[in-house]
Amino acid sequence: MANNYYDATGVLMLERVTPVITALFDGFNLDASYPGNGQTYIARISESNDPQWDDVLEALTDLATVLDLPVPDEEDPSMAMILEVLAPHFGADQNLELQNLIEHHRFEDSADLDALLLIASCFNDGHNLAAIQFEGCWHCSKPRLFEFGGEGCFLSRELNVFSSSRQALDLGLDLHQALLADDLDKAAARIAKETQTLLAGISEESIRERLRRRVIEQLLGDPPSPVPA
């Protein structure tokens, strides 16, 4: 029998660790002292810590109590209830992105970083969280084929970028097959798809469209000089 694992480490890019940051990220082995210079260590380590939404809910409930906010009397308040209690305190009760998260996120199982980033951005108590960098790997106790790999993400309010080792394998295979078939249209479409995926990570539509045009201009610029034979 083989066991599979996933381990990841990263940093929060912020000004300081505050009660909001502690409530949201303490389950990630938060270490305010390392590595420093505006970065705070976080991790998700197999068989050690796997931060759950239930843990975040408990921490946010405690935070609401400390802030003397009207916590629901229910025995098990939901994440939506607590977020709606906290939102007015931080001036985020009219935030459409937060409301959309409250209405549609299930808040079950492992806590996801993009949702935590949004909540932190709305509940800014001086932390000024700008971005999250997170890099992980999955591995197996037996050397099985394709049971090892890595991934990385950069998350901010302006831009989300994600890539994985699997993505490199798939892209390489698709391009290789297209080139063997002398199907440059297919190869070009695959490269265009990758570029569109990258551009889709930019949150502001107007900036995304301006950048798309700049990329096209760069690609249509003067071709490189031929390499001498």
Q: What is the pLDDT of residues 136-164, one digit of tens each?
A: 999 999 999 999 999 999 999 999 999 99
Are residue 34 and residue 143 in the same domain, yes or no?
yes
Query: Which pLDDT tens digit goes with each residue over 70-82?
Result: 998 877 899 999 9
Q: How confident is the model at residue 57, as a pLDDT?
A: 97
- What is the C-alpha to C-alpha distance for residues 26 and 47, in angstroms, rounded to an integer? 17
* Higher local confidence (pLDDT), 19 or 47: 19
Residue where a domain terminates, one of 157, 180, 209: 157
Predicted pLDDT of residue 76: 85
> Same structural domain for residues 206 and 103?
no
Whole-angstrom distance, CA of residue 187 vs CA of residue 138: 29
Count of the separate structural domains present in the chain:
2
pLDDT of residue 226: 65
Structure tokens at 204: 């502001």
Residue 139 CB neighbour total at 10 angstroms: 16
pLDDT at 1: 85
Q: Is 57 helix (H, G, I), strand (E, B) or coil?
A: helix
My answer on whether 122 and 11 are in the same domain is yes
Q: Report yes or no: 8 and 135 within 8 Å, Cβ to Cβ.
A: yes
Between CA 156 and CA 133 the distance in angstroms is 9
Provide mean pLDDT across the span 32-57: 96
Residues 65 and 26 placed together within one structural domain of the fold: yes
The 10s digit of each residue's pLDDT in 9-18 is 999 999 999 9
pTM to 2 decimals? 0.92
Same-domain check for residues 119 and 206 = no
Are 199 and 212 in contact, with CB atoms under 8 Å apart? yes
Largest CA distance in the chain: 80
Domain-embedded: residue 60 = yes
* 182: in domain: yes
Give a yes or no: residue 229 inside a domain: no
Q: Does residue 121 sit in the same domain as residue 206?
A: no
> Is residue 227, in this structure, part of any structural domain at all?
no
Upstream peptide bond of 72 is cis (omega within 30 degrees of 0): no
Within the chain, residue ranges assigned H as helices are 19-25, 53-66, 79-89, 96-104, 113-122, 165-180, 184-200, 205-219
Domain holding 182, by residue range, is: 166-219
Say if 110 falls within a structural domain: yes
* Together in a domain, 112 and 196: no
Which tens digit of pLDDT belongs to each residue from 76-117?
Answer: 899 999 999 999 999 999 999 999 999 999 999 999 999 999
Residue at a domain's end among 157, 178, 205: 157
Say yes or no: 93 and 125 in one domain.
yes
Angle ∠(111,113,116) on CA atoms, nearest 5: 80
Domain end point (choices 137, 157, 177): 157
Q: Are residues 143 and 173 part of one domain?
A: no
> Would residue 139 count as lying in a domain?
yes
Is there a domain that residue 226 lies in?
Answer: no
Asked if residue 225 is part of any domain, the answer here is no
Residue 223 pLDDT > 70, yes or no?
Answer: no
Residues 6 or more apart whose Cβ sits within 8 Å of residue 21: 12, 14, 30, 40, 120, 127, 129
State whether 178 and 103 are in the same domain.
no
DSSP type of residue 158: S
Whether residue 147 is found in the same domain as residue 203: no
- Which of 8, 5, 4, 1 is CA-nearest to residue 136? 8
Residues 170 and 148 in one domain: no
